[in-house]
């Protein structure tokens, strides 16, 4: 049995623009194994977010396959894909995107799908991420770094197959940003996820296992 949790096969995506179409992703293939932490870098507008959206089943490619934990979901209905995302994909966004009206523990408990998985507990995650003391705080009462750590906890709470992070350090200073990426790395390793992170931040690339460059619609290893 293969331990590849995220696989993109020959993915192509174009957008219509003013004069014709622009091919943002041109026949891209990618595989990420359990416990592997992969970074994607590239100039602004090169298609990094588009790639992440396709991997996260938020956007359908023009052609190609997306396989997550052995499942191909591209042909499923949107509500089935939505339910699939909750269980199999953990998202970390540029800004925390927590619900302002929930305390930290509720951000996790109300999102956790207990029927599907109860092996990961909110408490363990909060402890791992060093934010146990934030359990009863609202996002408004936490620092930017703490909020992003809660967002990481949320991404892991349903024990997903893959973690997708879109510039998770964009709203943080260098030290906090690096710490957050370290935490993503540690959890990815500890819990055996396949993690894909888009970033501008050259200084955190040493924490990843592999760095891929996206330019002109092609992915190149460095």
Partner 1 sequence: MKFALRELLYGKKKYILIELLLVLLMFMVLFLCGLVEGLGRAVTSAIDNRVADYYILSDSAEKLITVSELPDGIINEVREKTNSEVTTLDIQRMYLQKQGEERKLNVIYFAIDANSFLAPSVIEGKTLEYSDKDNPIVLDDDFMAEDIHVGDIIIDSASGFEFNVVGFAKDEMYGHVSVGFITRDSYTQIRTRLNPQYGTTIHALAFKGKPDDLDMDGKELVKKQDIIDNIPSYRAEHLTITMIIYVLVIVSAIVIGVFYYIMTIQKRRQFGVMKAVGFGMGKLSAIVVSEVSLLSVFAAVVANIFTFAMSAVIPQKMPFHLLPADAVSVSAGFVLISIVSSLISIIHISRVDPIQAIGGNDE
Ligand X SMILES: Nc1ncnc2c1ncn2[C@@H]1O[C@H](COP(=O)(O)OP(=O)(O)O)[C@@H](O)[C@H]1O
Residue number of the CB closest to Mg ion reads 49
CB atoms within 10 A of CB 4: 15
CA 4 from centre of chain: 16
Does 110 engage in binding with partner 1 (CB under 8 A)?
A: yes
Does 138 engage in binding with partner 1 (CB under 8 A)?
A: yes
Rounded Cα distance between 130 and 207, Å, is 19
Does 156 engage in binding with partner 1 (CB under 8 A)?
A: no
Query: What's the min distance (Å) between Cβ of 38 and ligand X?
Result: 16
C-alpha to C-alpha distances, 111 to 147, 151, 158, 206, nearest whole angstrom: 16, 11, 8, 32
Does 70 engage in binding with ligand X (CB under 6 A)?
A: no
Does 46 engage in binding with Mg ion (CB under 5 A)?
A: no
Rounded Cα distance between 168 and 49, Å, is 12
User: Which residues within the stretch 42-61 sit at the binding site for partner 1 (CB under 8 A)?
Assistant: 49, 52-53, 56, 58-59
Q: Which is nearer to partner 1, 158 or 188 (CB)?
A: 158
Does 82 engage in binding with partner 1 (CB under 8 A)?
A: yes
Q: Under 8 Å CB-to-CB from 70, ≥6 apart: which residues?
A: none
C-alpha to C-alpha distances, 132 to 127, 157, 188, nearest whole angstrom: 5, 15, 19
Q: Which is nearer to partner 1, 33 or 171 (CB)?
A: 171
Does 100 engage in binding with partner 1 (CB under 8 A)?
A: yes
Does 159 engage in binding with partner 1 (CB under 8 A)?
A: no
Q: Is 38 exposed, middle or buried (0-12, 13-18, 19+ CB in 10 A)?
A: buried
Q: Which is nearer to partner 1, 7 or 158 (CB)?
A: 158
In the stretch 5-24, what mask flags binding to partner 1 with x, by CB under 8 A?
--------------------
Q: Which is nearer to ligand X, 7 or 46 (CB)?
A: 46
Binds Mg ion (CB under 5 A): choice among 7, 46, 49, 112: 49
**What's the residue count for the chain?**
222
Size of site (CB under 6 A) for ligand X: 10
C-alpha to C-alpha distances, 33 to 51, 204, 206, nearest whole angstrom: 17, 20, 18
Rounded Cα distance between 129 and 102, Å, is 18
User: Which residues bind to partner 1, rule: CB under 8 A?
Assistant: 49, 52-53, 56, 58-59, 79, 82-87, 89, 91, 93-95, 97, 99-102, 106, 110-111, 138, 154, 158, 166-167, 170
């Amino acid at each position: 049995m293969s331990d590849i949790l995220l696989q993109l096969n020959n993915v192509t995506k174009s957008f219509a623009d003013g004069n014709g179409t622009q091919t943002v992703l041109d026949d891209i293939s990618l595989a990420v194994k359990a416990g592997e932490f992969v970074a994607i870098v590239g100039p602004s507008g090169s298609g990094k977010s588009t790639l992440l959206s396709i991997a996260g089943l938020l956007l359908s490619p023009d052609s190609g396959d997306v396989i997550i934990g052995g499942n191909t979901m591209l042909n499923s209905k949107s509500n089935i894909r939505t339910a699939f995302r909750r269980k199999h994909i953990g998202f970390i966004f540029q800004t925390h995107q927590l619900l302002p009206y929930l305390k930290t523990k509720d951000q996790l408990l109300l999102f956790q799908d207990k029927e599907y998985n109860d092996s990961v507990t909110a408490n363990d995650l909060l402890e791992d991420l060093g934010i146990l003391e934030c359990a009863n705080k609202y996002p408004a009462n936490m620092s930017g770094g703490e909020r992003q750590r809660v967002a990481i906890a949320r991404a892991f709470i349903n024990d997903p197959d893959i973690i997708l992070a879109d510039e998770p350090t964009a709203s943080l200073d260098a030290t906090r940003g690096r710490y957050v990426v370290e935490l993503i790395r540690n959890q990815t390793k500890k819990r055996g996820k396949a993690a894909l992170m888009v970033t501008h931040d050259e200084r955190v690339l040493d924490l990843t296992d592999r760095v891929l460059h996206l330019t002109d619609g092609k992915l190149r290893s460095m």
